[in-house]
C-alpha cells in the first residue's frame, strides 16, 4: 500500500529545529503540520514557517483562532513568506484554549464554523486544510460538522477520533471516524494512537479509504517508525541506539546555535527525551537522569554516560 505519513504538531517539541534534525537522521515523513500560531506570535515565528526555512520537508503552518478576520490576516502573512497552505486548528483540547472558545470548543457550534468558513473562503488565496476531533463532548458532533465543511473548498481534513473532553486518553471512536470519512467530500487523514507498523496496518484494514496518516507521539517515541512502516522492516537495536545518540547530539547542538539561553536548550532536550527514552532499554531510568540534570553541561555529561 502507498502510505502518506505526516508529522503531527506537538507544542514545544516539533519546532523547525526539531523537524530539520528529524528528517536529517530518520526520514520517512512526507510532510509536517507545525504547532499552532496565534495572533500575538512574533514575526520571526511566522517567518520560520516559510519553505525557505524548512528545506527537505514540506511544512504546513497552523492557525488557532475563532476570528475569521485574524485568520485572513495571518494567512496573508504566511502567504507572503511563501506558504501555499494553511491549517485551521479545530482540535486543541487544552483548558485555556477551550475556555476562549477556540480549538475543540468550536466543534459544538456548527453554525459558527459555517460562518467562519463563509468569511474566509473567498478572502484567502492559499489552500485550506482543517485539523479536528470527532467532537467536543460527543463523537456524534462530527456528523453535523462534515456536511458544513463539505460546502467549502478544503484540501483535506485531519481527524483525531477522540472528543475534546477526552484530551489524549480514553477510548477512540472508530465508527465516528468512519462515518465522517464516508460523509466527507474532502480527503481525510487519520490522526492518533499509531505506535507501531502493526497499528497502522490494522487501521488501514478498517479505514481503506483514508488519504494518509498523521503520527505525533508515536514518532517521538520511535523515530524509526515512519521508515519501518514504509520499508516493512526494522533496523537492529545496536544501529538504532547509535542513530538516536547522533540525533540527540545534533539536535542539542542545533538548539545551542538557535537559542540564546542554555536553560532553554536544556528544557527543549528534556522535552524530547521524555518521549525518546521510551524507545530505549531502561528508558524510565534514562529519562529520570536527564530530567534531573541541573545545567546543560550536566545534561551533556549524562548523555555521554548513558551511551558509553
Q: Rounded distance, CA 103 to CA 31, Å?
A: 22
Q: Is the confidence at residue 93, as pLDDT, over 90?
A: yes
| Number of compact structural domains in the chain | 2
> What's the domain range around 273?
237-306
Of 173, 196, 231, the residue that ends a domain is 231
**211-255 pLDDT per residue, tens:** 999 999 999 999 999 999 999 888 888 889 999 999 999 999 999
Q: Are residues 218 and 244 in the same domain?
A: no
Q: Rounded distance, CA 216 to CA 228, Å?
A: 15
Q: What is the pLDDT of residue 1?
A: 58
Of 165, 199, 231, the residue that ends a domain is 231
What are the two backbone dihedrals, phi and then psi, of residue 32, each rounded to the nearest 5 degrees? -135, 145
Q: Rounded distance, CA 254 to CA 64, Å?
A: 27
Give the CA angle between residues 156, 91, 84 to the nearest 5°: 40
Q: What is the pLDDT of residue 161?
A: 98
What are the two backbone dihedrals, phi and then psi, of residue 85, each rounded to the nearest 5 degrees? -155, 145
For range 136-148, the mean pLDDT: 98
Q: Where do we find the cell 486518553?
A: 169
**Contact indicator for 136, 97 with CB cutoff of 8 Å:** no
**CA 153 from chain center: how many Å?**
22
Q: Are residues 174 and 298 in the same domain?
A: no
Q: Rounded distance, CA 98 to CA 136, Å?
A: 9
Q: Are residues 187 and 269 in the same domain?
A: no
Q: Are residues 227 and 245 in the same domain?
A: no
Q: What is the pLDDT of residue 232?
A: 86
Q: Is the confidence at residue 2, as pLDDT, over 80?
A: no
For range 79-86, the mean pLDDT: 98
Q: Are residues 196 and 69 in the same domain?
A: yes
Q: Are residues 190 and 243 in the same domain?
A: no
Q: What is the pLDDT of residue 236?
A: 85
**Contact indicator for 168, 195 with CB cutoff of 8 Å:** no
Higher pLDDT, 29 or 234: 29
Q: Are residues 101 and 136 in the same domain?
A: yes
Percent of the chain's residues with pLDDT above 90: 94
Give the CA angle between residues 46, 49, 64 to the nearest 5°: 60
Q: Are residues 266 and 225 in the same domain?
A: no
Output the CA–CA distances (angstroms, integers) from residue 219 to 7, 13, 150, 213, 262, in the order listed: 8, 12, 31, 12, 26
Q: Are residues 151 and 282 in the same domain?
A: no
Of 216, 231, 246, the residue that ends a domain is 231
Q: What is the pLDDT of residue 57?
A: 97
Q: Rounded distance, CA 188 to CA 89, Å?
A: 15
Which three three-digit cell numbers place residue 241? Answer: 541506539
Q: Are residues 82 and 98 in the same domain?
A: yes
Q: What is the pLDDT of residue 286?
A: 95
Q: Are residues 226 and 259 in the same domain?
A: no
Q: What is the CATH number of the domain that holds 89?
A: 3.20.20.70
Ordered DSSP codes for 48-86: TTSGGGSTTSEEE-EE--S-HHHHHHHHHHHHHTT--EE
Q: Are residues 130 and 161 in the same domain?
A: yes
Rg (the chain; Cα; Å): 20
For range 100-114, the mean pLDDT: 98
Amino acid at each position: 500500500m502507498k502510505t502518506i505519513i505526516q508529522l503531527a504538531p506537538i507544542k514545544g517539541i516539533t519546532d523547525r529545529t526539531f523537524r530539520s534534525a528529524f528528517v536529517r537522521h530518520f526520514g520517512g515523513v512526507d510532510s509536517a503540520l507545525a504547532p499552532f500560531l496565534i495572533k500575538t506570535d512574533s514575526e520571526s515565528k511566522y517567518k520560520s514557517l516559510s519553505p525557505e526555512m524548512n528545506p527537505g520537508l514540506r511544512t504546513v503552518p497552523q492557525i488557532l483562532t475563532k476570528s475569521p478576520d485574524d485568520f485572513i490576516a495571518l494567512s496573508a502573512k504566511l502567504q507572503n513568506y511563501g506558504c501555499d497552505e494553511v491549517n485551521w486548528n479545530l482540535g486543541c483540547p487544552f483548558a485555556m484554549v477551550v475556555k476562549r472558545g477556540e480549538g475543540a470548543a468550536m466543534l459544538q457550534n456548527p453554525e459558527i464554523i459555517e460562518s467562519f468558513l463563509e468569511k474566509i473562503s473567498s478572502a484567502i488565496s492559499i489552500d485550506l486544510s482543517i485539523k479536528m476531533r470527532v467532537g467536543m463532548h460527543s463523537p456524534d458532533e462530527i456528523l453535523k460538522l462534515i456536511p458544513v465543511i463539505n460546502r467549502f473548498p478544503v484540501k483535506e481534513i485531519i481527524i483525531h477520533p477522540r472528543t475534546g473532553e477526552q484530551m489524549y486518553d480514553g477510548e477512540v471512536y472508530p465508527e465516528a471516524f468512519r462515518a465522517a470519512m464516508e460523509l466527507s467530500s474532502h480527503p481525510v487523514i487519520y490522526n492518533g494512537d499509531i505506535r507501531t507498523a502493526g497499528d497502522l496496518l490494522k487501521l488501514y484494514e478498517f479505514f481503506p479509504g483514508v488519504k494518509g496518516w498523521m503520527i505525533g507521539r508515536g514518532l517521538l517515541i520511535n523515530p524509526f517508525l515512519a521508515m519501518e512502516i514504509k520499508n516493512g522492516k526494522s533496523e537492529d537495536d545496536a544501529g538504532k541506539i547509535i542513530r538516536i545518540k547522533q540525533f540527540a547530539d545534533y539536535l542539542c547542538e542545533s538548539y545551542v546555535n538557535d537559542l540564546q539561553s542554555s536553560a532553554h536548550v536544556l528544557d527543549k532536550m528534556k522535552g524530547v527525551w521524555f518521549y525518546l527514552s521510551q524507545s530505549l532499554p531502561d528508558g524510565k531510568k534514562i529519562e529520570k537522569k536527564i530530567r534531573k540534570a541541573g545545567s546543560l553541561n550536566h545534561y551533556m555529561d549524562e548523555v555521554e554516560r548513558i551511551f558509553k
